[in-house]
Structures are given as structure tokens and as C-alpha cells.
Homo-oligomer: A and B are copies of this chain.
Amino acid sequence: MRILVFGGRGALGSKLLSYCKQKEEWIIAAGFQSSSDANENVVLTNRDNFIAQSAECESQLVGLQKKLNLEPNFLDAVVCVAGGWRGGNAASDSFIQGCDDVIKQSIWSSVVAAQVASKHLKAGGLLVLSGAAAASNPTPYMMGYGMAKAAVHQLTKSLAAPKSGLPENSSVACLLINTLDTEQNRKAMPKADFSKWTSSEFIATLIHKWTIDASSREPSGSLVELKTENSKTTMNIV
């Protein structure tokens, strides 16, 4: 399977890459840094220009496609686990900066992933985006973050609708993670109950399963909330 991962150097992305590598899948990592676990890398340099960033992504993908002598729709899955978190309300000194960051981290990456899927995903392929369970409700304490993730949720619904521009029979899902169990989060919240946090292993396994087995996927357009209790994760489809 050919899988393109945006954000392959993040906590979740690196787990996904190593899991897929172990399963002997062929992986492109797209992001600001290359990954040694990927077969190929698309390294982006434009952090502040949306159009330039999407153009450099596309030109490198077309370059890879030609180098490897593949058809244009050569990808089985496009997965965007790029992102980031920013806190603060409308009165925060860093409100605008935080909004600017989350727009780039979550909205730009999701939109570029959607464009890549429209151009390079196979018929029947899979697109996975990253949302947030919290964004289904008001998020005054992380106002920009909730806003950006709500945008990704609505984008998911549009991508699953007829005439979205995605290839035939493709499927899109948005993962609504509550808290990811990462080293960084354990350091930031040392007193939290880690048994309620979702492991990146679970998510990597899920995405891989969806990629190789279309019948295991939730209906296209699903917002798939991952809820973890006593270290056991269940899915709640929104």
C-alpha cells in the first residue's frame, strides 16, 4: 500500500510511520522535516504562504510520481496527523498569534491533504484528517484551536458529499482524539489519569486497518471520536 502521511514527525505521525514500516507499506512523509522511517520524503519549506506551500507539495509529489513511473492516482491513503495545540481566550495576549498558528497547523494541512487526495488518491482510497472531540462544543479556554478543528470537521463532511472532487468510492474520516498519550503530554500533565488517554499505537493500527481493508471503514464523512477508559479505547461516530 502507498500511504502519504502529513505530520510524520509528530508524536502520532512517527508512530504511524514506524507501524506502517513494520507492516512493509510504502510511505511518503510530508512535512517540514524528513523522516528516516519513510520511503520518500516531501519536505516543505513555505511555512507562511499557503499557496506556495501547497504548490511545493504538489510539485514534489508529481516529481516522485514521474521518477517512480506511477499513474497520477498512485496513493492508497492520505493521512493528515499534522497539527498543534494553542490555549487562550479572546483576551489572551497571544490570541491572534495562536489563531494564526492553528489555522496553519490544522486548516492548511487538512486543505492541502484534501487537494492531494483529489489529485493522487486512487478510486476507493482513504483520506484521514485530524479533528478534536472538544471542538464539538464551545472551547473558550483554547478558542483558536477549537475554531480551527471545527473547520476541519465541516471540511470532512464536505469532502464526503457528492461532487467533492475526491475520487470515486473514496472514503474520508476525521479522528476526534480526546487526549493522546504522548511523552510530552505526560510531562505537561503529570497528575492526569493516563488510563483515559488514547495510545498512538491504537490509532496507527486503526488507520492501517482502514487503509488495507475498505470494509472496516466507518461511513465516509464520519467524525470518529476515540474515547479511552481504563486504557481501553472505543469509537463513537458523530
Contacts and interface: CB of A to CB of B under 8 A. Distances in A.
A65 to B, nearest CB: 17
A137 interface: yes
A163 interface: yes
A42 to B, nearest CB: 16
A89 B114 CA distance: 10
A7 interface: no
Interface residues of A, number: 49
Nearest to A145: B158
Contacts of A155: 143, 146-147
Contacts of A97: 51
Residue from A54, A118, A164 whose CB has the most chain B CB atoms within 10 Å: A164
Nearest to A148: B151
A148 B155 CA distance: 9
B90 A165 contact: yes
A128 interface: no
A117 B96 contact: no
A61 to B, nearest CB: 14
B141 A163 contact: yes
Contact of A117 (B51, B90, B152, B163): B90
Contact of A163 (B89, B164, B166): B89
Interface of A: 50-51, 54, 89-92, 95-97, 99-100, 103, 107, 111-112, 114-115, 117-119, 135, 137-141, 143-144, 146-148, 150-155, 157-166, 221
9 contacts: A50-B103, A54-B96, A89-B158, A90-B165, A91-B166, A135-B154, A139-B158, A140-B165, A148-B151
4 A-B pairs with least C-beta separation: A91-B165, A150-B154, A90-B165, A89-B165
